Homo-oligomer: A and B are copies of this chain.
């Protein structure tokens, strides 16, 4: 819980009473490896904050291959916010890549925060923007070759390298697992 509060307080200050209210509305949950937090084709029902573990955003392309679109690690929001807000179906799965501990807000509780805490909308939008921004900043750069993309991945997500199956990293980087294995060998 304290991780969540610390995360929120980086965007604005809250008084004791407001912090209590946030804490009352958040619920701690555990996700086991490979469980889904939300699913493609369904309307996202909650906002998650990753306290421990890694969530993976993924989808199936038209060839039926599973593509990892993003990794969400500690101290980030796990939510397809645009579809959460608009009550529309998400196009991706959010799946636990490792066992995870999350703090979650139901849609109703999330809205109560807006209604109750003055300035929450502003905090909220900064949080969401930061997430979208970070996601794009950490994404593999399409104009770089596979080796460079892997090296940058290691810089951006040093803690993931030995926790996540190679296939998932490969699809995130846009290469086959064979290529990634070859790259791993070549940089050793």
Instruction: List the one stretch of A37-45, A101-109, A121-129 in contact with chain B.
Output: A121-129
Can you name the residue of chain B whose Cβ is closest to the Cβ of A121?
Answer: B121
A132-160 near B? 1/0 per residue, CB < 8 Å:
11011001111110000000000000000
Query: Chain A contact residues (Cβ within 8 angstroms of B): what range?
Result: 20 to 34
Query: A33: CB under 8 A from chain B?
Result: no
In the bound complex, residues from chain B placing their C-beta under 8 Å from that of A82 are: 129-130, 133
Can you name the residue of chain B whose Cβ is closest to the Cβ of A125?
Answer: B125
* Residue contact A129 to B81, C-beta cutoff 8 Å: yes
Give which listed residue, B125, B126, B136, B142, contacts A174 with CB less than 8 A. B142
In the bound complex, residues from chain B placing their C-beta under 8 Å from that of A130 are: 82
Query: A72: CB under 8 A from chain B?
Result: no
Question: CA–CA, A7 to B49, complex, Å?
Answer: 32
Query: A67: CB under 8 A from chain B?
Result: yes
* Residue contact A174 to B129, C-beta cutoff 8 Å: no
Query: A22: CB under 8 A from chain B?
Result: no
Query: A173: CB under 8 A from chain B?
Result: yes
A146-188 near B? 1/0 per residue, CB < 8 Å:
0000000000000000000000000101100000000000000
Give which listed residue, B65, B67, B122, B129, contacts A129 with CB less than 8 A. B129
Give me 5 A-to-B residue pairs in the complex whose CB atoms sit less than 8 angstroms apart, sorted by A's number. Answer: A65-B143, A128-B129, A129-B132, A132-B132, A136-B136
Query: Interface on A for B, CB 8 Å cutoff?
Result: 61, 65, 67, 81-82, 85, 121-122, 124-126, 128-130, 132-133, 135-136, 139-144, 171, 173-174
